[in-house]
Amino acid sequence: MEKKQTFSVHTERDVKLTVEDIDDIMVAALEGGINYWCSEAEVVEERRCADWGHEQIARGGALVLHDIEDSSEKWELDLEKFLKGFKLWAEQGLDKYGAVQKDGTVDCCQIDAACADEIVQLALFGEVMFG
């Protein structure tokens, strides 16, 4: 049998996340996505930039996420980490519902709580550790 020859091609694309996109993803994460491993999302008061917790990240604020089993474990999430997590999520093919559109925009209706959880975990840990 003849072996098929394959060629690898590396591609890159720009994704355009809006403030609203980040807010929507954070709502999905905070209201169900991360609740099985995170007991509390605390606004870093020195960096508070909006009224609601889910609005902090896109505007330059930060959240401290507390481990549900070990109160001494906590991690800080900010915009830089969030963007890294989203990038990893897209690169690793975890966008199973097609949220990232061909034009680079994001349809957050296609990012559910489980996807938001993956994005946050990738942002904090560089991998999906829970779930």
User: Residues 100, 53, 60, CA angle at the centre, nearest 5°?
Assistant: 70
Domain residue ranges of the chain, discontinuous segments joined by + = 19-125
For 35-62, what is each residue's pLDDT tens digit? 999 999 999 998 888 889 899 999 999 9
On the question of pLDDT at 10 being above 80, the answer is: no
> Of the candidates 67, 83, 71, which has an alpha carbon nearest to the alpha carbon of residue 14?
83
Mean of all residue pLDDT scores within the chain: 93
